[in-house]
Structures are given as C-alpha cells and as structure tokens.
A and B are shown apart, each in its own frame.
Chain A
C-alpha cells in the first residue's frame, strides 16, 4: 500500500489532486524533493484535514451595545444591562445569557472597524474580503476555503448555506453554496420520483445513450456532464444525505438549539460538518434595527444566543471544536447614539464579533471601543485582519492565490495581519 492510499482513510482523507497541485508536481518530477520531503509535506497537508468553518451571519448589522460591548455606565446604553459571564471581568449584554455561560470558549473582538456603511457593499466585503466590483466576481470566503480544503470523497456539498448568500465567483460551481431554505428537511428534488431500482436503470440507459453524442464531437461536454450526474447520484444515494434530516437528533438537544429556523440551521451545521462539509453558513436576518432597537435585539438574541451556545458546546463535546472555526458576525455595527425612533443607524466605524473553536483561545476580549462607543479605542481590527486570522485558524496561507478569469492572480485576502492574541 502506498502512502497515498494510506492517507485516503479517515473521514476526510488527503485529497491527492490538490496535494499535487499545491506541492508542485514539477518539483517531484524533477526529483528536487526526496521521498522524506514528500512525506513531511504530506504530514503538513494532513494537518489541514478536518478543518472546517461555520459562519453565523447576523444580517442587517447587529448592535454591538446590545451584544458583546455593552456600556452600562453611559447614556447611550438605554435599556440594555450588562451581565457577568463565566470568565471574570468579561461582561456582555443581558440578552446573551447562554453565551455568557460558555465565555471560556469564546473570544470577542470589540474593535472591528470598516468603512462600508451600506448593507450590500458591507455584506459583500465581509463575505469575500474585497470591495464589490462589476468586473470580477470575487470568490466568497466559503469558496476559497472549500477550494483548498474540500475533499472529493465527500458525497454531500462542500459549501452549504441556510439562506441565500454570495457565490463562488470565478472559482466556479463546484464551490457554490448549496442553498437550504428550510433546515431540517431533505433538500429539494433529492428524492427520485420512481423506485430506486428503476431510477438506477434509467441512469444506466442515460449513460449508454450519451456515447453517441460524445463520439459526435462533444466528448468534453459529455464527460463533465456524466461526472456531474455521478456526483449528484452519489449525493442522492449517500447515507450522508441524512445529515440534512434533523429528526434523528434527541429532542432535548433539538430544544437546546431551539426549534426555530436559526436553531435548526445551527444543528444542521454541526451535522453537516460531521458528515464532511467544509463550510456552513447559517443566516439570521432582522438586525437592521433603525427602530426599537432594544425590543428587537432582545427578540433576535432569544434565538441566536441559545443556538450559538448549544452549537459551541455540542461541537466541543464531540471533539469537533478544535478543528471547526465558528464566527458570529454581521456586516457592521450600529450608532451608539439612539435616534428619535428608539433605534440605532448603520455604524461601520465600530462593531463586534464572537469567535470560537479552530484553535482560538476563548475567554478573552480583543480591542475596545471608546467610553462613548464612538471610536475604536484600542487595537482596531479590519476585515483583512479578520480574514488573516480565519486563515490562520484553518491553517491556510492567506496569500495563496487563484487566477481570476482575466489572468490576474488574487490572494484569499490582500493585506491585513493575523490577530495573534486570538491564538496566544
């Protein structure tokens, strides 16, 4: 048995093609790498295995003051109270009780800052690391991660999103998100309309009839079409497809996550990561609180807080937290000063987020905002800094490039630095 075959074992074995691609087949062929080099490089490659990410997306821009950066002493605070957490000295807003209980696993960044105050642009930037442009469709972070980490041996999609999100851009359909609208049930059109035996027989007929067209001058098209049908068939027939069905989970656990769309999405995320998906996004809209920020944020947190805490705890108990990077964030923050309608408006200058897992040291706060919340006080963190940190956590090189269709190489992210305290 060769070493290549050996490393194919395991939940997500080494992807041979990608390995060759990255380690430079030329170096191997030219004999510049010894066998030992190859093995050690493989070891490094193996470390990347099983790395995955869950993005909990708070669409609309959640208010940092009602989240992880409360200002109990300041007039801006309104009705929001600060509560103690399981880590002495760290306080968060009162609606986040369950999260407070697992603070030792969670790192908070209170000094996120950007310039994009428009939902669309800020969402694009947070999802791709780049500002939007008509001329190039940047791959999403999810696509960039899956492109480098996803395993072909996994039969379910490598990128899944509960709710519509950005696509893979020029990285192509292999890394486009598989969109789930209704978490908990099997995705649309995954059940054949005829009995399984007949379905397979049909596919057999289809396969035989394809040859004529292939020989007529459409060989490449037929080959990739067949490959896609095979992939889809594998997915339909795979026992892993059951990962989409939550009914197997104990009632008690389902209750902990919450029997609402977001809670179900988080439980689905865990099941998918377990089954080999590389990147899952779960969306929670409704954070655009221009009015009644206190009532609305409390209601939102009522779903997100228990689900987030349950997810982190569940991942930890299953030994998956160390290899799964969880990020909870939105596109920007909200104005510290209340507006006339008891709401807060868009505020990209200061916002916050929470991270857990993926080698991140929990129980710490990074950066701070000024006492009135108007400015970043210490250690500003930008989107490129965040991307560098996520890459570090996933053991990816943030400067690793892919080629855009116009022949311009593009790194996962340009500039920025890893927030090293996260891993210290």
Chain B
C-alpha cells in the first residue's frame, strides 16, 4: 500500500513536471458527475448483480477470487483503460490520500469526462478497422477517421448511431471519417460483408463464403445474401485532386447505363447468321467485310476490335468463317447493380444473382433497392434490439479489453456455436446496454465498478484459477498506450500539435507516434497470446537513442532525481512511481541497495534502474 507520509514528503521536495498528455484537463475534485440512475439498469445495481453472478459460479467451481487491487494499481489500470496513459506522480498521491469511499467510482466518472477518453477509444477503433484493411491506399485516411470517431465519442453518440454511420457512409474519404470501413476495402461487397459481420456482430460469417461449414449455423448463400446489401457502392478517385483522394459513392444503375451495357450483344445475334450482313454491307462483293464498308453498321464502332481478334490471315478484312470464329469478350464490369455468388465449379462464369437477406433474422428486403436503401435497411436490422449479437459483440469486446479476457474466447468470433463463459453476465450486460440506448459510457461504468474488474491480476496459465473471471488478466499495452507511457515516464514535455522537426521523441510528435505505431502496433481484435513482442521492438527499447538519450547525464530525468534526493531509497521510490506508477516492494529496494554498492556510482546505477524498468515486462503491461 501507499505510504502517505513518504509521498507527502517527496511531493514537497520535488517539482513534478507532470505529464502533458494526462494533465491537459483538470477536473475539480468536488465536481461530481452522477451516472444515470433512474432505470432498472442503474450502474451500481448491475455491477453488483454481475459480481454476485460471477461469485456464485466461482463458488460452484470451488474457485476463490483474487483480492481487490490497491489504489495505485487501480489508478494505473483505469487510466490505461479510459484515457490511454499512466497517471503522473501527483495524481497517484492525491488519489492515494483521498479518504472518500466512493473515490474509485468518482475517478471513473472523472476519466470518462476527459477528452483523452474519446481520443483513446477513437484510436482503438481506428486499429480495429485498419488492421484488416485490404486497400492500402485507405491507410492514409486514418487520422480522418480518428478525428470523426473522437467527435462521436466526445458528444456521447450511441453505438448504434455510430455503427449506422459507418455502414451507410458516402462521401469524400479524405474529409468524411465515417467512410473508413467502406474505403478500407475499396467498396468490395464481399470484404465489407465479412468485416461488417465481424466487427459489429462478432460473427465470422465469411467462413461460409466458399463452402457450407459443417459446424456453423449459416450457409454459403447466406453470406452472399449479406454481401448483396453492398454491390451498389464504388470507391472513385476525385478528379484532379493532388495528392490523389477518393470518394465512397452510391453507384445505382441508371436506365441509360443499362442500355449500353454490352456493345457486342447485338453483334452476337447478327453473326449467328452472317449472310444478310454480307448482303447489306459487302459493297465490293469480295465476300469480306472491310472497315470502311461497315462504317455505318450498328457494330461499326466495334469493328476495329473485332478485326484485331478475328482477322486470322491478316488482310484487314473479315470473311464469313473469320467472323463466325469471333467470340465477343465478356462485359468487363458487372453493371447490373446486383451481387452474384460465384459458381465454384465454373469460377469464370457470372454466378447466381443473389438478393439481400439478413442472415440473423432471415429478413428479406425488396429486390432492386438503391444503394442507400439497402445499406440503411441493413444498418437498421443490425442495430435492432432484436439482433442480440450487436449488443453482445460490443459488450464482449469492451469487457475483454478491460479485463484481459472475454466471455467468448476470441473477441470477434461469437455466434450460436461458440461457448460463452458466464452466459448470464453477458446477457445482463447486453440487455442493460440496449435499455440504455447503446450508451457506450454505461458499459465502461458498469464493468469498471464491478469487483471483478478491480481484482488483482492472476496468470491463468500458472494458477489454480482456471476460471479467468476470478481475477484480472495482464495484457500487453497497445502501441499508443506504450508511446504515451514513454513520453510520460521520460517527462518529455511536448505540445501535441508540435510541427517542429527534430531528433528523438521530442521531434514531430505525430510523426514519432505513427513511427512508433508502425513498430509496436498490433490488431486489437487478436487474442492476447498472439500479441507478444518482437525483436525490432526489443532492440528499440534497449538501444534506441530516441529513448535512451533522455536517461543519460546530469540534466536528464535521472540526474535531477539524483541531485534532489540524498537518500537512495527516495530516488528508487520516485523512479518506480514515474515508470511503473507504484512504490517499490521491499525486495526491490534491497536489490537496488545491493546494485548501488556493486556499481559505486549513484548516477550510473540509477540510470541503469530507469533503463531496466523501461525495459521490464511490467512497464509494457496493463496490470
């Protein structure tokens, strides 16, 4: 536990620089934001019910839940989960000293109200969408999406509205953030169908794309019925724009387009019986058709192309035999505005026309509807309270991200065939989410106010707690969280909008962040055992001058601490608080005392400690 005396003393002694990212907005201590409380799904009530349900199951399984975390750990965990970074030393101290019984609930409210909450989760959803993007051009629009998403979260937009916007979006992708998902897959109906199902319903229906799966409820045709909601959309380059930009557009077939859909169609009928053709057009009677002879024929414009293909003797004229040998090319684009399911036995054929049907409810819509009508109808069906998977997918994802494990093992692979742990808990949360009008903050409030969330970590692989719900599971930090933690721990003071170029993390922060993202980023939908570190990441943490330059010498963060504190344990404590957001344990202090003696130089020894903690598992983990 925190030692308030020590903290009070250390506070008065040092000038804490604070962390720019975390302290840009301060919330008055006595300002209370009360959660909505009038429904059957009041936050406190549901949080209690969840704890009771889980505890009941744990008792049946003869499992003992782990203890609740201390204030330091709670604050670090909640800060990562809501605002994406670590608390600074002041904040840790204030929180530890606050005697209020409701301080954790209050802290959750305070963090939810910060603009960093919107920023943090906008980045999360950016990674969800773009980690699977199949069109690399779309990656440039990530900031546009992020800005849009942050605005939605900031203004408290509900999850069903956000989902509908993403599914029905049109417009210039360089300006309209809601086009992200459509543009990320270049408007491809098949990819968009599978991603829509995966992200918003947690159902991987695309397995049925090629074959009827034996262990799935849904058939191949149903996947293509979902794709049939999206065939009338295209991604098109905006003319003259430099650099190139693109728009997501509805592309409904117009009657005019339908008329010219196949220039060879009529010609095909004509050459089936070519004699009358020759009678009419072979003006020099040489039994061959030349270009000038057919200039006014209905196929005159196509004659050049026909000649190229069919002129076997190279005399620039076509005989009856040559003409008959001509096979008109297949029309290049599907202009019908409908989706076709490929014929697996004949992949080059057009396939079967499929009309839109929503696989969950088996609801059909009228045939021949426009792009907007189709996508709006789908958005409505997906976000309908009758579709249990919509609420469940969101709740499972957020629970899983906050607690380190989900009700369903894989965050985005749910569905009727998958097993859910503590089924009644996810049902209760989903019902509450629906009853609260898909208010995203309600989900965070409930989960984070449960004892289940506030339990100490345990390692499911190395403990008797085979039921992960008896503890919180530690997970590796996402790239953005690690980046912000580094900036904070190294006390790099930098306004976020810095445009100045320079070396190290002090340079252009946005570009430093995106480089960092490129090195440390991972797909947030991947299960946690898929997201371990890499050698280049380790090399960066160990040896990159971009980090380590801030640790070396008298003017560094280490140097200042060494100068301020004469007592070695005080320096150790400050470093632990800055890097790991907690005080050192006794054994850790002992190791450090020993190390100081071994090295003999305070500055050098504490530089090594700072380096070691930045490279520790704990620094890179949400505990």
Render A389-424 as a binary contact track against B, CB cut-off 8 A, 1 for contact: 000000000000000011010000000000000000
Judge if A291 is at the interface, Cβ distance under 8 Å: no
Asked if A132 and B618 make an inter-chain contact with CB atoms under 8 angstroms apart, the answer reads no
A229 vs B598: C-alpha distance when bound (angstroms): 23
Number of A residues whose C-beta is below 8 Å from B? 50
Closest residue on chain B to residue A120 by CB atoms: B136
Chain B interface bracket (under 10, 10 to 19, 20 to 34, 35 or more): 35 or more
Judge if B491 is at the interface, Cβ distance under 8 Å: no
Closest residue on chain A to residue B544 by CB atoms: A189
Q: Which of A5-13, A33-41, A215-223 contacts B (4 or more CB under 8 A)?
A: A215-223
Contacts of B389-422 to chain A: CB distance below 8 A: 410, 413
Closest residue on chain A to residue B206 by CB atoms: A135
Asked if A178 and B585 make an inter-chain contact with CB atoms under 8 angstroms apart, the answer reads no
Closest residue on chain B to residue A218 by CB atoms: B474
Q: Which of B369-377, B499-507, B605-613 contacts A (4 or more CB under 8 A)?
A: B605-613
Asked if A205 and B207 make an inter-chain contact with CB atoms under 8 angstroms apart, the answer reads no
Residue among A134, A193, A220, A236 facing the most chain B CB atoms (10 A cut-off): A134
The 17 listed contacts between A and B (C-beta, < 8 Å) are A120-B135, A134-B134, A134-B191, A135-B195, A170-B530, A190-B539, A192-B543, A206-B611, A208-B591, A209-B613, A217-B66, A218-B457, A224-B533, A225-B620, A229-B538, A229-B542, A236-B543
Asked if A232 and B535 make an inter-chain contact with CB atoms under 8 angstroms apart, the answer reads yes
Asked if B204 and A406 make an inter-chain contact with CB atoms under 8 angstroms apart, the answer reads yes
A173 vs B612: C-alpha distance when bound (angstroms): 23
Q: In the assembled complex, how far is the CB of residue A219 from the closest CB belonging to chain B, in whole angstroms?
A: 4
Asked if A209 and B621 make an inter-chain contact with CB atoms under 8 angstroms apart, the answer reads no
Render A156-200 as a binary contact track against B, CB cut-off 8 A, 1 for contact: 010000000000001011001011000000011111110000100
Contacts of A212-251 to chain B: CB distance below 8 A: 212-214, 216-222, 224-226, 228-229, 231-232, 235-236
A94 vs B588: C-alpha distance when bound (angstroms): 70
A225 vs B545: C-alpha distance when bound (angstroms): 21
Q: In the assembled complex, how far is the CB of residue B271 from the closest CB belonging to chain A, in whole angstroms?
A: 22
Q: Which of B240-248, B427-435, B459-467 contacts A (4 or more CB under 8 A)?
A: B459-467
Asked if B534 and A209 make an inter-chain contact with CB atoms under 8 angstroms apart, the answer reads no
A148 vs B545: C-alpha distance when bound (angstroms): 36
Closest residue on chain B to residue A190 by CB atoms: B539
Asked if B543 and A206 make an inter-chain contact with CB atoms under 8 angstroms apart, the answer reads no
Asked if A135 and B535 make an inter-chain contact with CB atoms under 8 angstroms apart, the answer reads no
Asked if A228 and B535 make an inter-chain contact with CB atoms under 8 angstroms apart, the answer reads yes
Q: In the assembled complex, how far is the CB of residue B487 from the closest CB belonging to chain A, in whole angstroms?
A: 19
Judge if B49 is at the interface, Cβ distance under 8 Å: no
A179 vs B534: C-alpha distance when bound (angstroms): 12
- Name 9 extra pairs, CB < 8 A, besides A135-B206, A216-B457: A133-B134, A134-B133, A135-B198, A172-B532, A192-B543, A213-B618, A217-B66, A217-B474, A232-B535
Knowing A193-B543, A209-B591, A225-B620, the reply to whether A217 touches B457 (Cβ < 8 A) is yes
Asked if B613 and A135 make an inter-chain contact with CB atoms under 8 angstroms apart, the answer reads no
Knowing A157-B535, A193-B548, the reply to whether A205 touches B608 (Cβ < 8 A) is yes
A170, A173, A193, A219: the one within 8 Å of B533 (CB)? A173
A133 vs B623: C-alpha distance when bound (angstroms): 34
Judge if B565 is at the interface, Cβ distance under 8 Å: no
A225 vs B617: C-alpha distance when bound (angstroms): 6
Asked if B617 and A222 make an inter-chain contact with CB atoms under 8 angstroms apart, the answer reads yes
Asked if B616 and A210 make an inter-chain contact with CB atoms under 8 angstroms apart, the answer reads yes
Report which B residues bind A (CB closer than 8 A): 66, 132-136, 185, 191, 194-195, 198, 204, 206-207, 410, 413, 456-459, 461-463, 471, 474, 476, 526-527, 530, 532-536, 538-540, 542-545, 548, 552, 585, 587-588, 591, 595, 598-599, 604, 608-609, 611-613, 615-618, 620-621, 623
Closest residue on chain A to residue B413 by CB atoms: A406
Closest residue on chain A to residue B534 by CB atoms: A173
Contact residues in B for A198 (Cβ distance below 8 Å): 604, 608
Asked if B616 and A209 make an inter-chain contact with CB atoms under 8 angstroms apart, the answer reads yes
Contact residues in B for A224 (Cβ distance below 8 Å): 532-533
Top 10 closest A-B pairs, CB basis? A189-B539, A217-B457, A206-B612, A225-B617, A219-B462, A232-B538, A189-B543, A217-B458, A213-B618, A173-B534
Contact residues in B for A157 (Cβ distance below 8 Å): 535
B133, B194, B591: the one within 8 Å of A135 (CB)? B194
Report which A residues bind B (CB closer than 8 A): 120, 132-135, 157, 170, 172-173, 176, 178-179, 187-193, 198, 201-202, 205-206, 208-214, 216-222, 224-226, 228-229, 231-232, 235-236, 405-406, 408
Asked if B539 and A205 make an inter-chain contact with CB atoms under 8 angstroms apart, the answer reads no
Q: In the assembled complex, how far is the CB of residue A60 from the closest CB belonging to chain B, in whole angstroms?
A: 15
Asked if B621 and A212 make an inter-chain contact with CB atoms under 8 angstroms apart, the answer reads no
A229 vs B543: C-alpha distance when bound (angstroms): 12
Asked if A212 and B587 make an inter-chain contact with CB atoms under 8 angstroms apart, the answer reads yes
Asked if B588 and A228 make an inter-chain contact with CB atoms under 8 angstroms apart, the answer reads no
Contact residues in A for B458 (Cβ distance below 8 Å): 217
A211 vs B539: C-alpha distance when bound (angstroms): 22
Contact residues in B for A221 (Cβ distance below 8 Å): 459, 474, 476, 617, 621
Asked if A193 and B545 make an inter-chain contact with CB atoms under 8 angstroms apart, the answer reads yes
Contact residues in B for A231 (Cβ distance below 8 Å): 535
Closest residue on chain A to residue B132 by CB atoms: A134
Asked if B456 and A217 make an inter-chain contact with CB atoms under 8 angstroms apart, the answer reads yes
A92 vs B598: C-alpha distance when bound (angstroms): 69
Q: In the assembled complex, how far is the CB of residue B131 from the closest CB belonging to chain A, in whole angstroms?
A: 9
Contact residues in B for A120 (Cβ distance below 8 Å): 135-136
Contact residues in A for B532 (Cβ distance below 8 Å): 172-173, 224, 228
Contact residues in B for A219 (Cβ distance below 8 Å): 459, 461-462
Knowing A178-B536, A190-B539, A222-B617, the reply to whether A134 touches B136 (Cβ < 8 A) is no
A16 vs B523: C-alpha distance when bound (angstroms): 32
A218 vs B617: C-alpha distance when bound (angstroms): 9
B206, B536, B539, B621: the one within 8 Å of A133 (CB)? B206
Asked if B207 and A408 make an inter-chain contact with CB atoms under 8 angstroms apart, the answer reads yes
Q: In the assembled complex, how far is the CB of residue B327 from the closest CB belonging to chain A, in whole angstroms?
A: 14
Closest residue on chain A to residue B594 by CB atoms: A208
Contact residues in B for A189 (Cβ distance below 8 Å): 536, 539-540, 542-544
Asked if B616 and A206 make an inter-chain contact with CB atoms under 8 angstroms apart, the answer reads yes
Contact residues in B for A132 (Cβ distance below 8 Å): 134
Contact residues in B for A191 (Cβ distance below 8 Å): 543
Knowing A178-B535, A217-B474, A224-B532, the reply to whether A201 touches B608 (Cβ < 8 A) is yes
Asked if B611 and A202 make an inter-chain contact with CB atoms under 8 angstroms apart, the answer reads yes
Residue among B533, B587, B598, B621 facing the most chain A CB atoms (10 A cut-off): B533
Asked if B539 and A188 make an inter-chain contact with CB atoms under 8 angstroms apart, the answer reads yes
Contact residues in A for B132 (Cβ distance below 8 Å): 134-135
Asked if B410 and A133 make an inter-chain contact with CB atoms under 8 angstroms apart, the answer reads no
Q: In the assembled complex, how far is the CB of residue B443 from the closest CB belonging to chain A, in whole angstroms?
A: 25
A405 vs B527: C-alpha distance when bound (angstroms): 9
Asked if B542 and A192 make an inter-chain contact with CB atoms under 8 angstroms apart, the answer reads yes
Q: In the assembled complex, how far is the CB of residue B393 from the closest CB belonging to chain A, in whole angstroms?
A: 15
Closest residue on chain B to residue A206 by CB atoms: B612
Residue among B133, B463, B611 facing the most chain A CB atoms (10 A cut-off): B611
Q: In the assembled complex, how far is the CB of residue B415 from the closest CB belonging to chain A, in whole angstroms?
A: 11
Q: In the assembled complex, how far is the CB of residue B544 from the closest CB belonging to chain A, in whole angstroms?
A: 5
A219 vs B617: C-alpha distance when bound (angstroms): 10
A135 vs B210: C-alpha distance when bound (angstroms): 13
Closest residue on chain B to residue A205 by CB atoms: B612
Q: In the assembled complex, how far is the CB of residue A278 from the closest CB belonging to chain B, in whole angstroms?
A: 15
Q: In the assembled complex, how far is the CB of residue A18 from the closest CB belonging to chain B, in whole angstroms?
A: 19
A225 vs B204: C-alpha distance when bound (angstroms): 31
Q: In the assembled complex, how far is the CB of residue B582 from the closest CB belonging to chain A, in whole angstroms?
A: 10
Closest residue on chain A to residue B463 by CB atoms: A217
Asked if A228 and B608 make an inter-chain contact with CB atoms under 8 angstroms apart, the answer reads no
Asked if B608 and A405 make an inter-chain contact with CB atoms under 8 angstroms apart, the answer reads no
Q: In the assembled complex, how far is the CB of residue B450 from the closest CB belonging to chain A, in whole angstroms?
A: 18
Q: In the assembled complex, how far is the CB of residue B133 from the closest CB belonging to chain A, in whole angstroms?
A: 8
Contact residues in A for B617 (Cβ distance below 8 Å): 210, 213-214, 218, 221-222, 225-226
A192 vs B618: C-alpha distance when bound (angstroms): 22
Asked if A176 and B539 make an inter-chain contact with CB atoms under 8 angstroms apart, the answer reads no
Q: In the assembled complex, how far is the CB of residue A79 from the closest CB belonging to chain B, in whole angstroms?
A: 23
Contact residues in A for B461 (Cβ distance below 8 Å): 219-220
Asked if B543 and A218 make an inter-chain contact with CB atoms under 8 angstroms apart, the answer reads no
